[in-house]
Every structure is written in structure tokens, then in C-alpha cells.
């Protein structure tokens, strides 16, 4: 297996092994919808499909998904991915898979998002709008659904609506690079004004990571003290401040990564993992630090440090792992990781993994 494939496998399976043996519950229209369990081969074949798709082997990916479907024929997630792959052959073949997925779970947001993207690619603007609107209604807090609907509105020459959607998104997700980039591009052709300049500054800030997220349960001044200590290389001081502020040891390692201090991040992460190999935040920090300042061998060693039955990373760790996946493996692997966090790709029990949908 290639190193990128190893990374995708570890990321996805680490999440699946981290969760308890219970169904995944998604909230749809205010009601809880439990997921289903599926056997190990289905999940393994699904992950293989993600890896092959990212490597450009679309025929191999489609074969893997179809084999996974034989183990779990009522997986809306697998059917949706098959629809997305079939889009390259034309709308009719893609629509068959999307309709099959809708029959299984008509409330599955990712299904309608994938269908909208396919419809856009096929030049079917009305179908794209219907699916994007439904995806947004099903999960208005899903940033990708908002971004897609804004793109559709722009294609419909409804730029005012697209702008309102994106402005609301950057308020909800001020650290979303994709949201700020979309807003910047949307208003680029408008008469010169403050909005474009402000969006451009935010894009530059996020590209250079000038303002790492604030630690939990602390104010901006407290966050600045922790970051100043890390910037100065005073790890012991940063540890003391983090403890007093309620910042976990694993999260401290993540903040060092955000500040570009790979060596400090590695030292902190190694310390945490030596005490608790299941700490998801520390493991992500170690992998990200290796990706930032090490070679391929360093990344491989970091990947192997995760213990059995790991604790899932927090929001910051999840975001960083998604960025590492996007850089080293590609968009599909990053999307699969995001889906796993949302419960679209259910966690796996030790003896009975959950379905990817």
C-alpha cells in the first residue's frame, strides 16, 4: 500500500475504532435517526474505494464500492458515491444510483449534495438547484451545503442570494478558508468596496495561519499568552499556562502545529502519547508536525503511534487531520473524514463496524 493510502486508511479506521458499539444517530428535521451496522468487509472495501478514487483509479474505485454494496446493499452513502462516480458516464447512470440512495434514506444530506454537483457538471441547473436546496434544508449548518447552494445561486444569476448565504456562513465559520475565498471571488467583480478588501484580508490571514483558534474556556488575552510562550519556544511555560486555562495537553500540541512550531508540537505530542497512546489530539499533532517539518519516514512513524480504541480528536484536531489528508491524499479522503465526523460514515464497533452511511 502506498503511503498516502496508508494515511487514508489510518485516518478513517482510527475514527471508526474510536466510537462505542452503538448505532450512529443523525438528527433530521428535529428527530433522531439511528444508523445501521455492517460487517468488516463492507467498511474495508469502502475505504479502499476512497483511496482508489483519490489515486485516479475510478474504475477500481467503482468496483470496490460495488463489492462493498454487496455486503451492505442498503447503504445510502455507498450508493451516493457510486452516483458521483457514474456522473462521468452521463446523467442517466448517475441518476439511477442517486434514486436508489434516496429510496434508502431520502434525508441523507450528502446524497443531495453529490447529486447537485453532478447536475451542475452535466449542465442541469434546475436539478442542481433542487438538490442543493434540499441539502441545505436538511443540514443548514453544513458549510459545504451552504457553499454549494451559493454556487448554484450564482449560476442562476442570483448573486444577491449567493452573497447573503456566504456572509452568513463566514459569520458562523470565521475560520473557514473556503467560505472566505468564495465570498471574495463573488464580490471581486463588484465596484471596489470594503467587503472585497475585508474578505481578501481574511483569506490571507487563514492562508498564513496568523490567528490560531482560541483555546477552550479562555479569553483572547489568555490565548495570546499561551501562543506567545509557544512562539518563544518556552514549552514548560506554555504547559503551565495551558493547565491553568483548561487547555488539554493534546490541544496544546495542536496549537504548536498551528503556530508552525513543529519541534515543540512533536515534543509535546510524544510526551502525551507516552502516557496515553489513545489521545486523538496528540496523535493528530504528531502526524501534522511530521507532515510540517519531517520526511515521509517521520510521517509513517507518527501514523503507527496511535493506540487501540483511540479517543476521537476534538474540533481543532479533526480540522487539522482533514487538512493533512487534503494535502497528502486528496479531496476525496478529506471528504470521507468529514463525513465520518458528521456521522455520515458511521463509527465501527470493535467486533461489528457501522455502515459508511
Please state, rounded to an integer, the average pLDDT across all residues of the chain. Answer: 77
Diameter over CA atoms, the chain: 61
67-109 pLDDT, tens digit per residue, is: 989 988 888 888 999 999 999 999 999 999 999 999 999 998 9
Quick check: helix, strand or coil at residue 269? helix
Which one is predicted more confidently, 354 or 147?
147
- Amino acid 79: pLDDT: 93
> CB–CB of 70/32 below 8 Å?
no
117 Cβ contact partners less than 8 Å away, ≥ 6 residues apart = 84, 87, 128, 148
Whole-angstrom distance, CA of residue 281 vs CA of residue 317: 5
Tell me the whole-structure pTM to 2 decimals. Answer: 0.56
For residue 61, pLDDT over 80 is answered with: yes
Judge whether 242 and 215 are in contact, CB under 8 Å.
yes
Dihedral sign computed on CA atoms, order 151, 157, 163, 169:
negative
Residue 265 has pLDDT above 70, yes or no: yes
What is the mean predicted confidence (pLDDT) over 251-276?
Answer: 87
pLDDT bin (cut points 50, 70, 90) of residue 245 is low
Helices (H), the chain: 3-18, 40-54, 58-71, 76-86, 91-104, 109-121, 125-138, 143-155, 159-172, 177-187, 194-208, 220-231, 235-245, 249-258, 262-275, 280-293, 296-303, 315-328, 331-342
Domain map (residue ranges) of the chain: 158-210, 234-291
Read off the pLDDT of residues 14-52 as tens digits, 9 standing for 90 and up: 544 444 444 444 433 344 444 444 455 665 677 677 767
Amino acid at each position: 500500500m502506498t503511503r498516502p493510502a496508508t494515511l487514508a486508511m489510518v485516518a478513517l479506521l482510527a475514527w471508526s475504532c474510536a466510537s462505542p458499539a452503538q448505532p450512529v444517530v443523525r438528527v433530521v428535521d428535529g428527530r433522531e435517526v439511528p444508523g445501521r451496522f455492517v460487517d468488516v468487509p463492507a467498511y474495508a472495501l469502502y475505504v479502499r474505494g476512497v483511496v482508489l478514487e483519490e489515486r485516479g483509479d475510478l474504475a477500481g474505485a467503482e468496483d470496490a464500492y460495488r463489492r462493498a454494496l454487496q455486503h451492505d446493499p442498503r447503504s445510502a452513502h455507498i450508493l451516493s458515491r457510486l452516483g458521483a462516480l457514474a456522473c462521468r458516464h452521463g446523467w442517466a447512470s448517475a441518476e439511477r444510483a442517486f434514486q436508489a440512495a434516496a429510496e434508502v434514506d431520502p434525508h441523507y444530506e450528502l446524497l443531495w449534495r453529490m447529486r447537485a454537483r453532478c447536475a451542475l457538471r452535466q449542465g442541469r441547473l434546475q436539478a442542481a438547484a433542487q438538490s442543493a436546496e434540499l441539502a441545505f434544508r436538511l443540514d443548514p449548518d453544513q458549510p459545504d451545503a451552504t457553499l454549494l447552494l451559493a454556487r448554484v445561486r450564482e449560476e442562476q444569476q442570483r448573486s444577491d442570494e449567493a452573497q447573503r448565504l456566504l456572509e452568513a456562513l463566514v459569520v458562523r465559520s470565521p475560520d473557514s478558508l473556503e467560505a472566505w475565498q468564495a465570498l471574495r471571488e463573488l464580490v471581486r467583480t463588484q465596484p471596489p468596496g470594503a467587503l472585497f478588501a475585508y474578505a481578501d484580508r481574511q483569506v490571507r490571514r487563514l492562508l498564513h495561519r496568523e490567528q490560531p483558534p482560541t483555546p477552550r474556556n479562555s479569553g483572547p488575552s489568555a490565548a495570546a499568552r499561551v501562543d506567545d510562550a509557544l512562539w518563544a519556544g518556552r514549552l514548560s511555560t506554555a504547559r503551565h499556562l495551558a493547565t491553568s486555562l483548561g487547555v488539554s495537553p493534546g490541544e496544546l500540541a495542536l496549537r504548536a502545529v498551528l503556530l508552525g512550531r513543529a519541534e515543540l508540537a512533536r515534543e509535546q505530542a510524544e510526551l502525551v502519547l507516552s502516557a496515553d497512546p489513545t489521545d486523538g489530539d496528540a496523535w493528530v499533532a504528531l502526524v501534522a508536525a511530521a507532515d510540517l517539518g519531517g520526511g515521509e519516514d517521520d510521517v509513517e512513524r507518527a501514523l503507527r503511534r496511535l493506540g487501540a480504541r483511540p479517543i476521537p480528536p476534538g474540533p481543532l484536531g479533526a480540522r487539522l487531520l482533514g487538512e493533512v489528508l487534503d494535502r497528502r491524499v486528496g479531496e476525496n479522503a478529506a471528504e470521507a473524514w468529514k463525513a465520518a465526523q458528521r456521522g455520515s460514515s458511521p463509527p465501527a464497533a470493535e467486533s461489528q463496524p457501522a455502515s459508511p452511511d
